[in-house]
Structure 1
């Protein structure tokens, strides 16, 4: 069997394994139907007058920027990846340092990532203007620029190092490079899920321990009751950037901690904070991060194996101005294929995410036993974060990683009715 065909077969096998994991681990039915049928979803019920309309207006103002960013990013990647322009750029930026293949990959990748970010920068700036206009962003433009620069630098560095390994393996092992790279990609996903809260989160926020208080004691006790003890309860300085409310649990083992936005601490009563944290502890109790890591590892390995097949397709390589997967000029094409893969996989990822989030909602209700606090928390989050109560169905299908606020309220009412019915 030829190497390209073997890569395609392995991609199919890994894709099948990923499909099986998704099918068996995703909670497709979270809550049985209560007597009398499910509670109708009422988009603006529970919100102060005018808030639902304001949230829909905010979403409508931001949605074109999101679509424009996707289109511009994809168009730029296509121009660079499917014409000789990208190949010439990769060659040209490395010429001052000798033009070696490693420099072509490293510097070429950095320049391509920066170009892609610069093309979408005006749209990102417009999005920040919209968030300021509606009171969601508190960032100064200096902090916004610092965040953009830092995230671009991290993205460029990690991508450049990854592609250096890919091209290096392709030069050393031309027939089996994709197999080694697939294994490396899967391992990188696993390692990244452990290191992200330790290395990446502190680059953007400061975290301070929550001072001793009744809330801190209750949250630690909630984690113990959940069977997932945490090492600490931290407060993130999120108010430097946003007025939004949030909390989450991150890390594994000795690095696991509850993190509260300082905005959440300031604006929510303790029972609603406990409801948010109970939801996040639900993800820990059901090993959602572990399941997501397994899915990510399988998906990354399958994508790399498929990449091994595509980068052996002569017409595609010729279009990109490259000769093989070992040619540094293949970098722009690789970035295009990765961008396409990320975009096309989003609906599946978000479908799984919505069901997983619903299960975490159920866990929060069962852990606290307080549907009233859960509903009040969802209404307050929707009001403060200006979450669209009724997004277009296609938008929610493609981009919605969580059920809408009204769907989550209806879910809690269904749970309450089931409890009352015994």
Structure 2
């Protein structure tokens, strides 16, 4: 699935991207390496091999790679500052309060209080997306083309963005309806129940997305080449991953990147790899990439990351409750925000929680980095491809 229309929306949907959830699997042992393989591994110096490979990369390519990733670090800051600026603008200008009042007038007399949340959320999303679109356009279109990662012209790219926006609005509105129902019913302990809601949505969204959402952007078809498919299925069987088919994704129409994933639960588990991987990589390289992705599944990284996500959201919501109440006490009259159950306070919630996410970025990156290293080790051991 393409990135959402803005990091602002991603933060609003409670950092679902952090909750990379793969299905749990039975523990399994990896067969011991043969004596010949052990000798090859012992003869390989990983550090020296890595340095030799880096030395083979042209200097201009290394500098280009460094610039791309260093620029990505700065974009974390710019996206946070933009999110904060949009939130403050909506509060200080009372646009958020006006949206709340408009929604209240439309649904006046209705007993379904969630209707006001829906009527507030939809224009709020469109305003936030419009204000954040210039940075999103640079980050996900112009910058990707500059570094050679994009394959789409503007119109097809924009069409995908509109599809992503529609999905984000539907998912975000449903989440807000449930959260604001929690705010109304348990205003003092909403941060506890809100955490449960966020975790359930994260769990459901990540399991649903690969099966029902991603096909909105790409075509999935069974991989028919037995030279590629059969070794992948053999690794899956050896690690008790319940799949009988491998799917190929037509990602090359959008990007030059290679990628793959193993995702799903309760009979929906699926192995998929994009066609760039087939076009750009050798069979040993494909085996290593797929073994790495299987590592996330077999090592139960989904459940682990979901646990970390739940702890982070619980702490974040607890801090958000205290900071939100303090801000409303001081500036609530100026912003016309009445309390946690008031939809007009949504930009304040986004501002506080996005700040906490930004501060926690090193922790989040560390957790992700650890899981990636574990998947790397699993992939090397499973594929026997250094």
- The question of a shared fold, defined as TM-score above 0.5 by the shorter chain, is answered with yes
Counterparts of residues 350-389 of structure 1 (less than 5 Å): 350-371=365-386
Counterparts of residues 315-354 of structure 1 (less than 5 Å): 315=330, 317-318=332-333, 320-354=335-369
Contact 1:236 1:262 in 2 (8 A): yes
TM-aligned CA deviation for residue 333 of structure 1: 1.5
Q: 1:146 to 1:70 in 2, by over 3 A?
A: farther
TM-aligned CA deviation for residue 369 of structure 1: 2.1
Aligned match for 1:312, one of 325, 330, 343:
325
SS in 2 for 1:255: coil
Other-structure match for 2:94: 84
TM-aligned CA deviation for residue 201 of structure 1: 1.8
SS in 1 for 2:55: coil
Contact 1:283 1:289 in 2 (8 A): yes
Structure 2 Cα separation of the partners of residues 147 and 200 of structure 1: 12
Structure 2 Cα separation of the partners of residues 357 and 59 of structure 1: 17
Structure 2 Cα separation of the partners of residues 38 and 231 of structure 1: 34
- Please identify, of 101-110 and 213-222, the stretch whose mean Cα deviation from structure 2 is larger: 101-110
Q: 1:179 to 1:53 in 2, by over 3 A?
A: closer
Counterparts of residues 5-404 of structure 1 (less than 5 Å): 39=47, 42=51, 44-48=54-58, 50-59=60-69, 67-81=77-91, 84-92=94-102, 95-96=105-106, 98=108, 102-127=114-139, 128-313=141-326, 314-315=329-330, 317-318=332-333, 320-371=335-386
Contact 1:91 1:99 in 2 (8 A): no
TM-aligned CA deviation for residue 249 of structure 1: 1.3
Deviations 1:246-293, CA, capped at 9 Å, x for gaps? 222111352222211111111211111001011111111211111112
Structure 1 Cα separation of the partners of residues 191 and 83 of structure 2: 26
For normalisation by structure 1, the TM-score amounts to 0.71
Other-structure match for 1:418: none
Structure 2 Cα separation of the partners of residues 154 and 317 of structure 1: 32
Deviations 1:350-387, CA, capped at 9 Å, x for gaps? 1111121111111111112221xxxxxxxxxxxxxxxx
Contact 1:210 1:216 in 2 (8 A): yes
Q: RMSD over aligned Cα, in angstroms?
A: 2.9
Residue segments in structure 2 that go unaligned for 5+ positions in a row = 1-41
TM-aligned CA deviation for residue 77 of structure 1: 1.6
- Please identify, of 359-368 and 247-256, the stretch whose mean Cα deviation from structure 2 is larger: 247-256
SS in 2 for 1:39: helix
TM-aligned CA deviation for residue 318 of structure 1: 4.1
TM-aligned CA deviation for residue 199 of structure 1: 2.5
TM-aligned CA deviation for residue 197 of structure 1: 1.7
Structure 1 Cα separation of the partners of residues 176 and 246 of structure 2: 38
SS in 2 for 1:123: helix
Structure 2 Cα separation of the partners of residues 236 and 354 of structure 1: 26
Contact 1:311 1:317 in 2 (8 A): no
Q: 1:178 to 1:357 in 2, by over 3 A?
A: closer
Q: 1:145 to 1:359 in 2, by over 3 A?
A: same
Deviations 1:138-191, CA, capped at 9 Å, x for gaps? 112122212222222222222222222232333334444443333222322232
Contact 1:81 1:320 in 2 (8 A): yes
Contact 1:185 1:304 in 2 (8 A): no
Structure 1 Cα separation of the partners of residues 159 and 313 of structure 2: 30
- Please identify, of 313-322 and 68-77, the stretch whose mean Cα deviation from structure 2 is larger: 313-322
TM-aligned CA deviation for residue 63 of structure 1: 6.3
Structure 2 Cα separation of the partners of residues 58 and 326 of structure 1: 42
Structure 1 Cα separation of the partners of residues 150 and 56 of structure 2: 24
SS in 2 for 1:234: strand
SS in 2 for 1:50: helix
The alignment of Structure 1 onto Structure 2 pairs a total of residues equal to 337
Structure 1 Cα separation of the partners of residues 76 and 318 of structure 2: 30
Contact 2:247 2:272 in 1 (8 A): yes
Deviations 1:108-141, CA, capped at 9 Å, x for gaps? 2222222222122122222312322332111121
Structure 2 Cα separation of the partners of residues 287 and 310 of structure 1: 35
